Structures are given as C-alpha cells and as structure tokens.
Amino acid sequence: MFRDDQSLACSFCQLQDETSDHLFCTCAFSMAIWRMVLGWFGVSIALPSLVKALFVQFPVFGRCSSKREALVTVWMATCWSLWLMRNRVIFDNGELDTGLVLDLIQVRSWHWIKAKRVNFQNSFYEWKLSPLACLDSL
C-alpha cells in the first residue's frame, strides 16, 4: 500500500513500477541476486519473468523430495531477503548490496533448513562452501 507521497517505482532500480514480478524477477538487482544464488549451487538456468514460474522452476534440480523441499526453503530465504532489502532501502535509506543479500540468504536458509530437518547436520561453513553436497545428506 502506498501513501500519496510515495513513488510506485521499483525501490531497487527506479525504472519500472514495483510489481511482485518485477521486484522479485525482472529487476536487474533481483536478477543479479538470483544468479548469485544459482551460481552458489553451481547451476545456470534461464530466469523466468514471473514469480510463480520461478517458484516452480527453482527446486527442479533437486532429485528427491527432501532436497526439493530444502531448495524451496532457499527460494523463500531469497525472496524474504530481497523483501527485507527493499524495506531497508525505503525505510532506512539503505544502500543496495548484493554481497550482503547473498550472505543473508545463506545464513537464513541454513538456519531454516537446520530447524526443519533434524538430519541436516552440516556446519554453516560446509553449507556456504558446497550447498548441494550438504543437501545430499538429506
């Protein structure tokens, strides 16, 4: 919801109206984050322009259901981290920082997977270094 004095422009790029599809998929900042997350997993895929399509496509490279579930958790951590960065830019005059967002995605996803899966015993160091190898233990 926007007040009268607020812009409808994307908080990241200021180039297009801020829709969910633009904010999470097609904005250059968000696309850079998704590429970094996928690169962290050693995966390269074409990024869709719709949030729903990204949700469906993201966990595809998980072979078993527990691995796919963990990948959905990474997807959620990515969206949540993008949203929090948006709020930081709007409400705290924050600067865009892809490195910070990636770090927060890695920390959040590790904590969330660890809280949900008792058999996920990997250290954060292992998770940050090789997330797919960690998911193989699920």
- pLDDT of 101 higher than 90: yes
Look up the domain containing 61 and give its range.
20-135
The pLDDT, as a whole number, for residue 5 is 53
25 lies in some domain: yes
Tokens standing for 3? 């007040």
pLDDT over 50 at 100, yes or no: yes
| Residue 9 falls inside a structural domain | no
Is 57 contained in some domain?
yes
Residue 6 lies in a domain: no
In this structure, is residue 7 part of a structural domain? no
Does pTM surpass 0.85? yes
Specify if 10 maps to a domain.
Answer: no
Predicted confidence (pLDDT) per residue in 24-71, tens digit: 999 999 999 999 999 999 998 899 999 999 998 887 766 788 899 999
Task: Identify whether 8 is part of a domain.
Answer: no
Number of domains in the chain: 1
Distance CA 118, CA 133 (A): 17
* C-beta neighbour count of 121 within 10 angstroms: 10
In a domain, 125, yes or no: yes
Express each pLDDT in 69-86 by its tens digit.
999 999 999 999 999 999
